[in-house]
Amino acid sequence: MGKRILGISSVVLMIVALYLIFVYAGVDAAQGEPFRIFYFHVPVLLLSYLSAILLGSACIMFLYNAEAKWDRAGAVAAELGLVFGGTGLISGMMWAKPIWGKYWVWWDVRLNLQLILVLTFAAYLMLRAYLPNQEKRATLSCVFGLLALVNVPFNWLAIYFVPTLQHPKPVVSPGGGGTDPDMAIAFTCSLIAWCLTYSYLFSTRLAVAQVEQEVEYLEQVVRAS
Amino acid sequence: MKSISSLFFKDIVVEWRNKEAVSSMFMFGVLTLVIFSYAFDPSGTDRSLLTPGILWISFTFAGIIGLNRSLAMEIDNECIQGLLLAPLSRGELYLGKVASNFAFMMIAELLMMPPFVVLNNLTFSFQIIEIIGVAVLGTLGFVSVGTILSMISAHTRMKEVILAVLQIPLTIPVILTSVAATGQILANETEGISYALMMLAGFSIVYLTASYLLFEYVVED
Amino acid sequence: MTALALQADDIRKTFGTFTALAGVTLQVQRGEFLALFGRNGAGKTTFLKIAATLMRATHGKLQIEGLNIEESAEQIRRKIGFLSHNTYIYRDLSPTENLRFFGALYGVRDIEERIPGLLERVGLRRRSNDPVRSFSRGLHQRIGIARAFLHNPSLILLDEPYTGLDANAVQMLDELLDESVRAGNTVILTTHDINQGLRAATRAAIIDRGKLVFSSNAGDSAVRDAYSEYVRSGATR
């Protein structure tokens, strides 16, 4: 029931957000039409960071009390992180092409952190895919998750300050949210819509993951007898 | 402490007998050096910017080969179980393996330096010593992560592939920083290089500690 | 000092859905020689591995010579000699080097004096400096035996140790085991062969599908009956 409300409200709010983005908010003075990607790109990116936090927390909790639900939550967070992070990267490239003239810029801090984050999610999921035993899968991917969590500050340090050794100051992503109140409303609405969508996807996927695990269990029972 | 040194010397003796790890790492590393040298036009003037990158790519690939070899030795005959039976803490086991992985990777890197210098028309000067200094810190970071990841990948079907998939994202900070520092040395602009060295040292300390604590979860059957 | 070499209370082990041990409760006194019988997959190896600290039980308490396995694993490992069908020996080292290495890990004093004697006992004196890679299966097993006894363990766990051994080696192992028991150490041995198992055993037990289904003194005639019954029930399943 709660999931249904979540699902419906996210669809509704998405439609509202689309209206606000394309009709209500004005055209950006500096960047023109391509700026509208901002309303999509930033929430999606923020949610991929949220996924990383959720994954890290799930791994810590699993280490603490080894309950399967934390393992499932971590796996779902990684999947959503991969999808949202990948979408964020692609939308970022779509934004960068008209604004900067190129798809990708090295030594942009956020772009690179994003790329590494997506690669880490992918590595986590690939590890899980090759561990058929449920307990081993949970333990080993938890350890990897923790090692990856510890990696984040070093990535930030390396990407942020290393370029200053060889190149001029790091380029910052096309930013600016505009101080125009119309844009702020559109952005807020979009952000909330995306958060609701994420929550809906997360809870649904989590429920599916639980069923998947039960099916796996039953398959093994059948095979054993 | 004694157990760690026993483990380390055992690995040295085994390697001395079969010379598999260092030779395969060296061969693979040199081949990578050569391929990249050809891929990036040898006569191009921008080569100097690529040189540190080429060096560290070769080190990375050679390092992954070395980690796989080290792992294979313990899986052969289930020797790791023999180590698990001994009155040795799992953390000490980890440190022993880190020590030997580090030693083999450093030896391979030292052997790769002369071909590197020659193929890139550098000079055998003090610069090379400085580059090796950076390599020491970078290698330590690399194997501190790699040793525990190789133990994780040992439980999977496609061990070598999974190790590479897990290792590369996590060692990006090390590679980036080492490449930048090496580039600085080659360009004779070593201002601020201490930041790079501190970061590499910090990385090693953090990962040695984290892996030491987490290793017991990774070795059990 | 407790008289019990091993005390297992309701030891359970599950691998996902598969239950390897469904609650094994067992007490073994010091100086006993327990022969543990059971089919493949009955849980013998799993139980021994848990006792040897190679695996953790999913549930239950285990104490080795009064020490709790959860808390004092490292101390316990010093007291245990474990032998399985895999010898855990490094193929690129010689028997002497292997024993020297394991001796260093176990902190065995006077290791250099012990090694030649031990290799002599297992019949490997002449090949003590050849790399193990060149050895046959039976010779491998002999070094495994030497490794298991190297540090004078007070609890010896053997998982089907007679597989791959020739008649000489079987005799050699039996002598080592007898000596060990005479010295007050405890032996737990798993095997398929009832005669081999009962040769020197003081107690016998049968594990089936993760549970202890029979236990008595080895001299008891009931042992052979119970074993035949067990084998027969398996054949018709």
Please report the pLDDT score of residue A167 as a whole number.
Answer: 44
Please report the pLDDT score of residue B41 as a whole number.
Answer: 66
Q: Which of A111, A107, A95 is nearest to A171 (CA)?
A: A107
From the CB of residue A26, how many other CB atoms can be counted at a distance below 10 Å? 10
Q: Which of C86, C78, C14 is nearest to C50 (CA)?
A: C14
| Residue B45: φ, ψ to 5° | -80, -20
Q: Mind listing the pLDDT tens digit of every residue in chain A (225 residues)?
A: 788 888 898 888 888 888 888 877 777 767 777 778 888 888 999 999 999 999 999 999 999 888 889 999 999 999 999 999 999 999 888 888 887 788 887 767 778 888 999 999 999 999 999 998 888 899 999 999 999 999 989 988 887 776 654 444 444 445 554 557 777 888 888 999 999 999 999 999 999 999 998 898 888 778 777
CA A90/CA A40 separation, integer angstroms: 11
Lookup result for tokens 């018709």: C236
Q: Which domain holds residue B178?
A: 2-219
One DSSP character per residue, B157-218 reads: SSHHHHHHHHHHHHHHHHHHHHHHHHHHHHTT--TTHHHHHHHHHHHHHHHHHHHHHHHHHH
Contact of A27 with A183, CB cutoff 8 Å? no
Please report the pLDDT score of residue A107 as a whole number.
Answer: 67
Please report the pLDDT score of residue C82 as a whole number.
Answer: 94
Strand partners, C187: C33, C156
CB pair distance less than 8 Å for A165 and B181: yes
From the CB of residue A195, how many other CB atoms can be counted at a distance below 10 Å? 16
Q: Which of C80, C88, C91 sits opposite B81 (nearest CB)?
A: C88
C236 in reach of chain A (CB within 8 A): no
List CB contacts (< 8 A) between C16 and chain A: 133-135, 217, 220
Number of domains comprising chain C: 1
DSSP code for B42: T
Most distant CA pair in chain C, distance: 54
Q: Which of B77, B79, B87 sits opposite C77 (nearest CB)?
A: B87
Question: CB within 8 A of B98, min separation 6: which ones?
Answer: B143, B144, B147, B208, B211
pLDDT tens digit string along B123-176?
A: 888 889 999 999 999 999 999 999 999 999 988 988 889 999 999 999 999 999
Give A119→chain C minimum CA distance, Å: 30
List CB contacts (< 8 A) between C17 and chain A: 217, 220-221, 224
C107 in reach of chain B (CB within 8 A): yes
From the CB of residue B157, how many other CB atoms can be counted at a distance below 10 Å? 11
From the CB of residue C203, how many other CB atoms can be counted at a distance below 10 Å? 20
pLDDT category at C58 given cuts 50, 70, 90 is confident
Please report the pLDDT score of residue A171 as a whole number.
Answer: 43
Burial of A215 from C-beta contacts in 10 A (0-12 / 13-18 / 19+): exposed
DSSP code for B86: S
Give B156→chain A minimum CA distance, Å: 6
Secondary structure, 3-state, chain C: CCCEEEEEEEEEEEECCEEEEEEEEEEEECCCEEEEECCCCCCHHHHHHHHCCCCCCCEEEEEECCEECCCCHHHHHHHEEEECCCCCCCCCCCHHHHHHHHHHHHCCCCHHHHHHHHHHHCCCHHHCCCCHHHCCHHHHHHHHHHHHHCCCCCEEEEECCCCCCCHHHHHHHHHHHHHHHHCCCEEEEEECCHHHHHCCCCEEEEEECCEEEEEEECCCCHHHHHHHHHHHHHHHC
pLDDT category at C1 given cuts 50, 70, 90 is low
Supply the CATH number for residue C191's domain.
Answer: 3.40.50.300
From the CB of residue B67, how many other CB atoms can be counted at a distance below 10 Å? 29
B18 in reach of chain C (CB within 8 A): yes
Contact of A85 with A48, CB cutoff 8 Å? yes
pLDDT tens digit string along A98-129?
A: 877 888 877 677 788 889 999 999 999 999 99
Which partners does chain C have (≥3 C-beta pairs < 8 Å)?
A, B
Contact of A41 with A8, CB cutoff 8 Å? no
Please report the pLDDT score of residue A21 as a whole number.
Answer: 82
Instruction: Work out the average pLDDT over C163-185.
Output: 89
Number of domains comprising chain B: 1
CB pair distance less than 8 Å for A224 and C16: no
User: For C97, which residue in chain B has the nearest alpha carbon?
Assistant: B10
Strand partners, C62: C8
First to last CA, chain C: 45
Instruction: Work out the average pLDDT over C228-232.
Output: 77
Helix axes B126-153, B90-119, angle to 10 degrees: 140
Give A175→chain B minimum CA distance, Å: 25
pLDDT tens digit string along B73-86?
A: 888 778 888 899 99
Identify the three-state secondary structure at position A171. Answer: strand
CB pair distance less than 8 Å for B88 and C90: no
| Number of CB pairs, chain A paired with chain B, less than 8 A apart | 94
Strand partners, C212: C207
- Structure tokens belonging to residue B158: 């496609």
CA C156/CA C118 separation, integer angstroms: 16
CA B15/CA B104 separation, integer angstroms: 9
CA C214/CA C227 separation, integer angstroms: 9
Lookup result for tokens 């294979």: B72
Which partners does chain B have (≥3 C-beta pairs < 8 Å)?
A, C
Q: Residue A43 half-sphere exposure, CB side, CA atoms within 13 Å?
A: 20
